[in-house]
Amino acid sequence: MSDLAKSLDVVGARWALLIVDRLLDGPQRYGDLQRDLGVPTNMLATRLRELQEAGVLTRLPLKHNTRAYALTERGRALRPAIEALAAWGADAPGDSPSGHSGAGAR
């Protein structure tokens, strides 16, 4: 398996990089992540568990049975990749004045 394939096994699933991106701002409570991202709660729970198992984030103990999550050093190392993907997306063909998008135009 290539290094890229191994990376995509960890962060290639839907919502994974959006969760990491949100956590780059600092630790976040479960409910705040769900609200801010609009991710279904069952999907958020699955992705958080997968990212935790991969060593990308850690669960923080809070009072009153509340959960919060923070990136590990491994998770913070994704910042340049996320910034590069965001810049790449900002320059998407769909943003051109002609109105043609690359995704839906066939």
Q: Which domains does the chain have, with CATH numbers?
A: 7-84 (1.10.10.10)
Helix 30-37 with 41-53: angle, nearest 10 deg:
120
Which of the four pLDDT bands, split at 50, 70 and 90, describes residue 62? confident
**Cβ-contact 68, 60 below 8 angstroms:** yes
Tokens of 47: 């992705």
Q: How far is CA 20 from the centre of its chain?
A: 4
- Give the tens place of pLDDT for each residue, 3-54: 888 888 888 888 999 999 999 999 999 999 999 999 999 999 999 999 999 9
Please tell me whether residue 69 adopts helix, strand or coil conformation.
Answer: strand
pTM: 0.81
71, 23 contact by CB (below 8 A): yes
